[in-house]
A and B are shown apart, each in its own frame.
Chain A
Amino acid sequence: AQKITQTQPGMFVQEKEAVTLDCTYDTSDPSYGLFWYKQPSSGEMIFLIYQGSYDQQNATEGRYSLNFQKARKSANLVISASQLGDSAMYFCAVSSPSFGNEKLTFGTGTRLTIIP
């Protein structure tokens, strides 16, 4: 089995500040993928960033970066210079061969609120 833990149910951050959303995972597979998705109030899931377990460098996509610490099984999402539009639910997810590479296991999410 694989498990994702997001320990921050809610966060409030001042606009323009950086924010780190925590994610730890538990999988026994040596090869796996880590994902972050954003879910605004509209309900649609928006892909943000992907990190492969064998990638040497931390993934970055614009203002999003993934702080990947393999030994600690940690994959925190960092959002730089937060904006009001970043207010949403954020979900961490993992895929691994033993669970079926294509299927994602999601955490319970963190609700991020950006304060003007």
Chain B
Amino acid sequence: GAGVSQSPSNKVTEKGKDVELRCDPISGHTALYWYRQSLGQGLEFLIYFQGNSAPDKSGLPSDRFSAERTGGSVSTLTIQRTQQEDSAVYLCASSFYQDNEQFFGPGTRLTVL
């Protein structure tokens, strides 16, 4: 079956521009997560969606970051006025509610020039 997909795979943008990153979770998964992985680092939690509940935004690094999940499926992570420190790989994961295993997508590599 289809796994978690993310688009684009690579994004190069200029400082100050807005970007949108998309995540398609595995069909039927109610939970969706966004993580960020900076070069040579582990993953850093950004935001978590579970069904129709309010998202857990506690990991978002600034108010330039936002995310939405439409219809309990596809999610978009938006970064406004990008900065060079936003350069990283953004990974999306999904899981069944309270399941132990999170299934990750291939990530979007964002480069801010």
Contacts and interface: CB of A to CB of B under 8 A. Distances in A.
Contacts of A101: 98
Interface in A65-91: 91
Interface in B18-49: 31, 33, 35, 40-45, 48
Given A91-B42, A107-B42, A44 B105 contact: yes
Given A102-B48, A103-B48, A104-B45, A47 B102 contact: yes
Contacts, number: 60
A37 B37 CA distance: 14
A103 B59 contact: yes
Q: How large is the interface on A (under 10, 10 to 19, 20 to 34, 35 or more residues)?
A: 20 to 34
B77 to A, nearest CB: 16
Contact of B103 (A35, A47, A104): A47
Given A91-B43, A108-B42, A50 B93 contact: no
Interface residues of B, number: 28
B65 interface: no
Interface string B90-113: 010101001011111111010000
Given A103-B33, A103-B45, A106-B43, 18 more contacts: A35-B100, A42-B106, A44-B105, A45-B43, A45-B91, A46-B104, A47-B102, A93-B43, A100-B58, A102-B31, A102-B33, A102-B50, A102-B95, A102-B98, A103-B48, A105-B45, A108-B41, A109-B42
Interface of A: 4, 33, 35, 37, 42-47, 50, 91, 93, 100-109
Which 4 A-B pairs have CB atoms at the shortest separation, nearest pair first? A106-B42, A45-B104, A106-B43, A50-B100
